[in-house]
Structure 1
């Protein structure tokens, strides 16, 4: 196992000034490990103190912190409490004379267009859209899918949907129609909010056309609301299609709906290894509290700071940016464009321009920026930075050191952060009261009862094992949407009353954690999770393809890239066929997530119950030891795959 020396050590003065240390000290702790033990030994005490420290405002106080009548899989948090996330993130600041004129949102478009909104101004926009949505029949409990780039209207829509008591479901703006359609079919969304188009790298990217393809296939959709981002000429189908400008005509103050703590406010889909994407259900007192805690107490975001996470609202870190920032009273930055356009210093220019204190990025992004050289960073004043957050995938040392040295001037801590969509935030992190090493995580976050288990559920030290969580926490998904059985099988079927997260992890004797990869087959492409079944399903729809297997292999920029193997019927493999399959994948999934390499093979390795063994495909392709293949009925199939991999590596 690789060992690292400390790259960042907090001074006593720095440590004692953090929100985490001040909070620990309030409760009689100066040692993080002792405090963490208390946080998992008495989880009701801990999470009650969290909502106090975050000053969560309740319309009706809760009667009980935690009810585990139905076991750890189905905890009920803050029983009897009533609140609304729109109040936590917006209303309470807009009605506070000392905060109402502070900036809630800085926005910048790909084309350089900018906008900023105070909390008070933003509330007026949200109220107007709240009335508009209600006027078109959106009511409490309805689900509205957001298929939008990072625009002010995206955030306005999220908060307006919460205000009226409905539920929003964000989809990645880069998805093609099939992926969005799948999610709308699963959620039974009543409405879709999209844009006419958006800008990316100076080009106008059509969006309404994809949304039309979606709407034509989704009978549950009653309306498609269209943000007029670019003014592109698009067709409006009456009465289904409604212009955004027609939603915001009522300028009256809207009274936010009172919701129960465990009422859902967001349904966000995440890819799995098999079947359809999983719909993680998040509640008004779940995701916002966990995100605000991780950002505020762990990452030290205050109401004087500016948080910018480079992300999309369809990925979990988009909502994290919103609630991690706004619930803490901080300003947030949303960016429509790409970090190296029109010049390679665009990201750093944004940091300088908006005086960003907390910047969130991914290792893939850093590897991309490294290609442009450190000179582009040196052109910009990055002294405002207090912390750089990183999530989405494991690091390797070189880009970590490059970021720490050149962007952080060897003074700014890098907060490695790992959790997931179903978690509402982090499991592991780099708390600011302990030394930080490259690549690793220095702690399980407060309230997260973490261990690393072996095959039989035994705790491991200095060995690779399964990352598990042994107690419930605020923010854990309220099952999967309309699919308790899949939720239980995915996370709770391995060890009794224990959440198995799906990451391979090593915990060393000093308490540092290293993630070595996924223990399931989910791909991690540039920080974005991709279920192999989603790709395979597209491939087998082609009349020439009878089977498909998709794996992820290392990529120097993306971290991991998808590779596809297909078995054909009587069709002869040709270059035209593979080009056609590639084109279809690009159309259905988008270029960013589609395999660039498709190989035709005679057979795929399968178990006796006809399940394709992706692990065997991957080990053969990479020419790694295959391990136990006794479960295969056709072990000879891996030799052809191994030969393909060897031929590629030799060229």
Structure 2
């Protein structure tokens, strides 16, 4: 939309106060309280992070809190801490929490298990000893190719216990994608499940590992967990190990390794626009500090909560808000393996009812899926336990926001639409659920200790209501510390564009109430004949049409207009993808935004290129319409088999017009 329309849309947005009953149990209960605490955290950030540190268990604590500035900084340098000790030991050794359920597990096939903190503690120590028995130690790297399983959490927590860096690879990535991450991180071991369930199918993960390791590689050991008993896999006796056999031999006692707060703790790969995917390095202790703070204040996590974050462990959100942030707070969390709408569309609701989930965190894509399944389906289940709905990944459009609030929340919940990136290791923008008035489409306010700003190309702050580049002016513990093996790329990507700040690459607007509206990537804002159009707003208009399930809009270069918007749309099966529907969708965008925003073309497709978090990779769509193929990095796809199909669909759709 044009700058003027953007301002009007944002300034006219309604404010919805958090329910009074929710405020009573929130850590921050009013905007005045938030503003006072936020002001103090910016004026004296060391004091705020010291306050967070006081709630954690330290092996050795030094006086220094923050040293250095972007891109070279540290938190609590010289202080020793262990992530696993804070997420497991301190609860397992607490008589009041040791027998509390840490994880409720449910598989797509209906299998159910539960683990207490005491049980988790025992299993983690045993697997830590397994790793030591194979010669792995602090500073080594392992690749973890597993789905959402309690054993996956055991593996990762054991790595934290020993200072071994892990990188999780989505259990659906191709052999090429897995191999790229193994080679890039110089992984000494791969830990995998033999298979996983996905929409009723069995995926043979061990076969993928074997294919990834056909040529020269650094891997010395492959540990295989038998998730599916009757699934036959090939085991190389010189390299491969059975998880259960190793665990049976392992001692259930293993001391934690003291680690500097800034020692590398984990790698998470994020796709670049071209070339190799980037291995983002997060500091273990810093990651713990920040994710504990985010989880506490943005989700109000408490002892009594039953909390479900649907993110796959291949997505950093699961590490932020479940593995580290959630477990550090000692909550009961749910792990689910498989597709959340299988074997029936009401699977999410069924689990909310069964476990009485009161806090649900998912991606906007998943929430829009529930919206398309309809209101009547939701009414079949008891969803009265829900108090908080949170989202991250891409903007939660206002239409979906209102549907969630009314249908799932019965107008009595808090909806927290957050913003973060792989590189930020958390969500610098979010609501404080008991304090911040909700605005459908907003990403909330800056978190304590995080100074965000909207600036122009020269790095100067722009007035409220003016779109610009989103930057972060202060260092914070979860900010990425490096790109693995490529310091130059780290500095050039995130700090060179605007020296002295972290350059997010996103465009945003700050409104007069201090709330931020993230419009998308800088290259997801299209200039058409002088009109600056947010692709998010066009997508929101299209999604609001009853026929549309998903929509993605990208800009295509045009000699006259500079760029024109092109829409990719998947539709409900009861509708026909014809010229009449295309015209109706174009008219809707014109009515909602203006004639200048009319999509030049609408491609009806059956699939969208998505990351493992469910985010549509619009860069690939641009490449398809401009070049007829995808030339950039494609290893980040959730399903690597869809590209050829998508390209063929677009070509066929273009030929039929």
**Normalising by the residue count of structure 1, what TM-score does the alignment of the two structures yield?**
0.81
> Can you list the C-alpha shifts for 1:7-63, whole angstroms capped at 9, x where unaligned?
530356643531134xx9xxxx944223222212221112111222xx110011122
For residues 491 and 294 of structure 1, what CA distance do their matches in structure 2 show? 22
In structure 1, the partner of 2:272 is 272
Q: Does 1:344 align with 2:352?
A: no
8 A Cα contact 1:586 1:594, kept in partner: no
For residues 591 and 184 of structure 1, what CA distance do their matches in structure 2 show? 18
C-alpha spacing 1:556/1:436, structure 2 compared with 1 (3 Å): farther
Q: Which moved more, 1:199-208 or 1:2-11?
A: 2-11
Query: Of 643, 646, 652, which aligns to 1:597?
Result: 646
8 A Cα contact 1:148 1:172, kept in partner: yes
In the alignment of these two chains, the number of paired residues is 565
For residues 194 and 553 of structure 1, what CA distance do their matches in structure 2 show? 38
What is the DSSP-based 3-state SS (H/G/I as helix, E as strand, rest coil) of the residue aligned with 1:504? strand
Displacement, 1:240?
0.8
Displacement, 1:593?
6.5
What is the DSSP-based 3-state SS (H/G/I as helix, E as strand, rest coil) of the residue aligned with 1:49? helix
In structure 2, the partner of 1:263 is 263
Q: Does 1:491 align with 2:494?
A: yes
In structure 2, the partner of 1:471 is 474
For residues 552 and 446 of structure 1, what CA distance do their matches in structure 2 show? 39
Q: Please list every run of 5 or more consecutive structure 1 residues that lacks an aligned counterpart in the other structure.
A: 533-550, 601-620, 622-643
Q: Does 1:125 align with 2:128?
A: no
C-alpha spacing 1:585/1:58, structure 2 compared with 1 (3 Å): closer
Query: Of 161, 164, 171, which aligns to 2:162?
Result: 164
8 A Cα contact 1:169 1:268, kept in partner: yes
> Matches of residues 362-377 of structure 1 in structure 2 within 5 Å?
362-377=363-378
Q: Which moved more, 1:77-86 or 1:590-599?
A: 590-599
C-alpha spacing 1:201/1:83, structure 2 compared with 1 (3 Å): same
> Can you list the C-alpha shifts for 1:482-508, whole angstroms capped at 9, x where unaligned?
211111111111222111111111112
Displacement, 1:87?
0.3
Displacement, 1:101?
0.1
> Matches of residues 152-551 of structure 1 in structure 2 within 5 Å?
152-231=150-229, 232-249=231-248, 250-320=250-320, 321-432=322-433, 433-460=435-462, 461-520=464-523
8 A Cα contact 2:163 2:257, kept in partner: yes
8 A Cα contact 2:173 2:635, kept in partner: no
For residues 97 and 488 of structure 1, what CA distance do their matches in structure 2 show? 47
Q: Which moved more, 1:150-159 or 1:507-516?
A: 507-516
In structure 2, the partner of 1:61 is 61
8 A Cα contact 1:167 1:264, kept in partner: yes
Displacement, 1:273?
2.1
8 A Cα contact 1:124 1:251, kept in partner: no
For residues 292 and 645 of structure 2, what CA distance do their matches in structure 1 show? 38
What is the DSSP-based 3-state SS (H/G/I as helix, E as strand, rest coil) of the residue aligned with 1:598? helix
For residues 309 and 401 of structure 1, what CA distance do their matches in structure 2 show? 21
8 A Cα contact 2:148 2:312, kept in partner: yes
> Can you list the C-alpha shifts for 1:356-415, whole angstroms capped at 9, x where unaligned?
221111111122222221122112212222211101001222111111111111111111
Displacement, 1:591?
4.4
For residues 177 and 165 of structure 2, what CA distance do their matches in structure 1 show? 19
Query: Of 74, 77, 82, which aligns to 1:76?
Result: 74
> Can you list the C-alpha shifts for 1:230-268, whole angstroms capped at 9, x where unaligned?
120011011211111122122431111111111112111
- Provide runs of 4+ in structure 1 moved above 6 Å: 521-526, 584-589
In structure 2, the partner of 1:137 is 135
8 A Cα contact 1:363 1:400, kept in partner: no
**Normalising by the residue count of structure 2, what TM-score does the alignment of the two structures yield?**
0.80
What is the DSSP-based 3-state SS (H/G/I as helix, E as strand, rest coil) of the residue aligned with 1:75? strand
For residues 279 and 553 of structure 1, what CA distance do their matches in structure 2 show? 31
In structure 2, the partner of 1:543 is none
C-alpha spacing 1:48/1:554, structure 2 compared with 1 (3 Å): farther
> Can you list the C-alpha shifts for 1:262-289, whole angstroms capped at 9, x where unaligned?
1112111111223211111112211122
What is the DSSP-based 3-state SS (H/G/I as helix, E as strand, rest coil) of the residue aligned with 2:468? strand
Q: Please list every run of 5 or more consecutive structure 2 residues that lacks an aligned counterpart in the other structure.
A: 1-5, 526-534, 544-551, 555-564, 572-607, 609-614
In structure 2, the partner of 1:106 is 104
Displacement, 1:223?
0.8
> Can you list the C-alpha shifts for 1:54-85, whole angstroms capped at 9, x where unaligned?
x11001112210111xx321111111211110
In structure 1, the partner of 2:577 is none
8 A Cα contact 2:138 2:164, kept in partner: yes
Displacement, 1:183?
0.9
8 A Cα contact 2:271 2:635, kept in partner: no
For residues 567 and 426 of structure 1, what CA distance do their matches in structure 2 show? 33
Displacement, 1:217?
3.2
In structure 1, the partner of 2:578 is none
In structure 2, the partner of 1:17 is 25
For residues 556 and 293 of structure 1, what CA distance do their matches in structure 2 show? 38
C-alpha spacing 1:303/1:555, structure 2 compared with 1 (3 Å): farther
C-alpha spacing 1:508/1:166, structure 2 compared with 1 (3 Å): same
For residues 22 and 634 of structure 2, what CA distance do their matches in structure 1 show? 50
8 A Cα contact 2:289 2:477, kept in partner: yes
For residues 585 and 490 of structure 1, what CA distance do their matches in structure 2 show? 19
C-alpha spacing 1:267/1:650, structure 2 compared with 1 (3 Å): same
For residues 430 and 655 of structure 2, what CA distance do their matches in structure 1 show? 36
8 A Cα contact 2:271 2:278, kept in partner: yes
C-alpha spacing 1:184/1:281, structure 2 compared with 1 (3 Å): same
In structure 2, the partner of 1:539 is none
In structure 1, the partner of 2:611 is none
